[in-house]
């Protein structure tokens, strides 16, 4: 399937995924900047329950020494590339759905850590959760649509 032969529905879904992924790159980049910051940030210090510094500088903010925010930047960039430059490939809907569902599972795990271990919420993290949830829903819809069209 070529880009010009891509149905309108598919193009709209991929455009929406690309916009959401761009938002994810932005949110994750800001989070990564603050992860390495040395001073307290005030934009997300909203009382005891909302504090990005607590979350973003906790022991849970890295996986194997790699900041979770960097994993987010890379994941959202890969999603952006799949939804734009690689969109004409037949396997893209499946790859987007599987990758975004894995990203959503990871984000839900991190949200659990925020709420039940750290007892602090990060607005950036919750924004990223909303973005990956939306991407997962759209990607899964696109994948199901592509399966129906093929069958």
pLDDT digits (tens), the chain, 151 positions: 444 446 888 999 999 999 999 999 999 999 999 888 877 766 677 877 888 888 988 999 999 999 999 999 999 999 999 999 877 788 999 999 999 999 999 999 999 999 999 999 999 999 999 999 999 999 999 999 998 887 6
Q: Is 63 left (phi over 0), alpha (psi -120 to 50) or beta?
A: beta
Domains of the chain, residue spans: 8-36+44-150
Structure pTM?
Answer: 0.91
Tokens for 137, please give them.
């829903």
3-32 tens-digit pLDDT: 444 688 899 999 999 999 999 999 999 999
Length of the chain, in residues: 151
Say which residues have a Cβ less than 8 Å from residue 11's Cβ, sequence separation at least 6: none
The torsion defined by the Cα of 15, 18, 22 and 24, in degrees rounded to 10, comes to 120
CATH class, domain 8-36+44-150, is mainly alpha
């Amino acid at each position: 399937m070529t880009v010009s032969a891509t149905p309108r529905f598919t193009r709209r879904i991929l455009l929406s995924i690309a916009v959401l992924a761009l938002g994810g790159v932005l949110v994750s980049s800001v989070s990564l900047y603050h992860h390495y910051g040395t001073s307290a940030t005030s934009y997300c210090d909203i009382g005891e329950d909302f504090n990005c510094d607590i979350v973003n500088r906790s022991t849970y903010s890295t996986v194997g020494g790699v900041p979770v925010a960097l994993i987010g930047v890379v994941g959202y960039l890969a999603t952006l590339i799949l939804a734009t430059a690689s969109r004409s490939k037949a396997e893209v809907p499946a790859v987007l759905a599987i990758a975004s569902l894995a990203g959503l599972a990871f984000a839900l795990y991190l949200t659990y850590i925020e709420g039940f271990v750290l007892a602090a919420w990060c607005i950036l993290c919750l924004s990223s959760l909303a973005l990956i949830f939306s991407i997962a829903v759209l990607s899964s819809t696109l994948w199901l649509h592509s399966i129906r069209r093929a069958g």
